[in-house]
Amino acid sequence: MNPGLATDPSGFELWSLAAQWVSAGAAVLAVFVAAVFGWLTLANNRRSKDTQERATLIAATDEQNAPQSLLARRDDPNGARLTIRHTTGEQWQLVNEGPAACIIDEVAGLTAQDKKRLATVAADSDPLNPGDAKDFTLVSRLALSGPANVVVSYRVEPGGSPLRRVFLVPAP
């Protein structure tokens, strides 16, 4: 037996070692790919659930079936006409474009995902006069992206009947 063989690996041993390294690399890559697809599946499931919630809420609050006290008439010439306007980045404004002032009771997200995305809007007892705007932030990050629904609860006069509008915010 030649003592130099123990320190000088043969070609077979080198190829065997290389195959082991390739196998280990492939295993690490497979775990990484599985983690990425798991995260994407989770994000897709959240969006699917959110879309399902939206469809259910839209069906439940269809204007033809909803009580008039919950919905603002869009053609009311004496009421507030609220709209949503994009300012910059994740900043949006709720604008009163109507001839009358209104009191904003609450600005909230419609679905669970919308509620996560909408930053807290400060409560304000001052009326939103015609031409005035109320700022809010709608966060758009990876799994929390796409259009959102914002629910605005308001009254046209103090102590008046509550009105509610749902706005689709075309956030990225």
Q: What is the mean pLDDT of residues 17-23?
A: 92
User: How many alpha carbons fall within 13 Å on the CB side of residue 82?
Assistant: 30
To the question of pTM greater than 0.85 for the whole model, the response is no
Please give the residue that has the higher pLDDT: either 9 or 110.
110
Query: Could you give all domains of the chain from N- to C-terminal order, each with its CATH number?
Result: 61-169 (2.60.40)
- Count each helix (H run) and each strand (E run) in the chain, helices first: 2, 6
* Position 57 pLDDT exceeds 60: yes
Q: What is the mean pLDDT of residues 124-147?
A: 81
71 phi, psi to nearest 5 deg:
-115, 135
**Mean pLDDT highest for which of 6-10, 38-42, 158-162?**
38-42
